[in-house]
Amino acid sequence: MSHTQKNKTQLLARVRRLKGQLEAVERQLEAEAPCAEVLNLVASIRGAANGLTLELIEGHMQEHVISPLSPGNETSAAGAEELMSVIRRYLK
């Protein structure tokens, strides 16, 4: 079972939260809210999208790279972990 299935509930919750934030932007634009408010809401969306991306990448690395390794491939597992620690810094 893929990580997008295993973490389906959690991932869907993230996607729906992001959609909710976009709907708030939509309502602000329709209500002609002060644009500084719109800008700040849009800035939060970026953080939320990075969080979703990081969760997908972590899951992908775990399920499609690390977990399928046959015994004796510890070097690859260690290399993948090292890479994740750098990617995390870029998406946080």
Q: By the criterion CB under 8 A, which residues form the site for a second copy?
A: 2-5, 8, 11-12, 15-16, 18-19, 22-23, 25-26, 28-30, 32-36, 38-40, 42-43, 45-46, 49-50, 52-53, 56-57, 59-61, 63-66, 68-70, 72-73, 75-76, 78-80, 82-83, 85-87, 89-91
Alpha carbon distance 77, 89 (integer Å): 19
Joined together, the tokens standing for residue 37 give 């408010």
Buried b (16+ CB within 10 A) or exposed e, 66-91: beeeeeeeeeeeeeeeeebeeeeeee
Taking a C-beta distance cutoff of 8 angstroms, is the pair 21, 44 a contact? yes
Closest distance to a second copy from the beta carbon of 33 (Å)? 7
Least Cβ distance, residue 23 to a second copy (angstroms) = 7
Q: How far is the CB of 5 from a second copy (least distance, A)?
A: 5
